[in-house]
Amino acid sequence: MDQRLKQLLSHMDSEDARLLRTLIEGFNGGKTEEKSLAELQERLEQTRARIKVIEEKARRKMADAKANPFCHYCRVKASDVEYMFQSDTNVNICSNCVVHGYRQLRMLRRES
Ligand SMILES: [Zn+2]
C-alpha cells in the first residue's frame, strides 16, 4: 500500500478508515491491492463523474414520469386509461389495475 495512504489510514477514525478500505476494495474488485493515493483520487474523480451522469439520468426520468404519468403496476400511460390514481408517495395505479385487484380480492375472500 502507498506510504501516504498507510499514514492517512493510521490517523483516521476507525469508521473513516473502514469506509476508505471498503472504497479501495471496491475499486480493486474485492482485493486490497497496492494502489497509490493518486490512483485512488483519480478513481474517485471518475466515480464522482459517473454518479453525476447517473443522477442526471434519474432526474430526467423523474421529470418525464411527472410530465407523462404511467401506472407503476402495468406501465400503461395515463392518457390510455379512464383514471390514474396517485399516492402521496408519487406511485400511480390505473383504474384497470384497481378493477383487476378488486376482482382478485373478491375471489380470494370467497376461497377463504
Ligand atoms: Zn395499471
pLDDT in tens, 49-99: 999 999 999 899 888 888 889 999 999 999 999 999 999 888 999 999 999
50, 79: one domain:
no
In whole angstroms, what is the distance from residue 55 CA to residue 51 CA? Answer: 6
59, 74: one domain:
no
Domain count, the chain: 2
Please tell me the distance between residue 67's alpha carbon and the centre of ligand 1 in angstroms: 17
pLDDT score recorded for residue 8: 81
75, 57: one domain:
no
Please tell me the distance between residue 105's alpha carbon and the centre of ligand 1 in angstroms: 16
Whether residue 32 is predicted with pLDDT greater than 60 in this model: the reply is: no
3-class SS of residue 94: strand
The pTM of the full predicted model, rounded to 2 decimals, is 0.48
Please tell me the distance between residue 101's alpha carbon and the centre of ligand 1 in angstroms: 10
What is the domain range of residue 50?
A: 1-67
Residue 75 one-letter amino acid? R
51, 7: one domain:
yes
1, 33: one domain:
yes
Please tell me the distance between residue 55's alpha carbon and the centre of ligand 1 in angstroms: 27
Please tell me the distance between residue 69's alpha carbon and the centre of ligand 1 in angstroms: 11
Please tell me the distance between residue 14's alpha carbon and the centre of ligand 1 in angstroms: 49
CA 55 to chain centre: 9
Please tell me the distance between residue 5's alpha carbon and the centre of ligand 1 in angstroms: 53
55, 77: one domain:
no
Q: Grid coordinates representing 71? A: 401506472
82, 40: one domain:
no
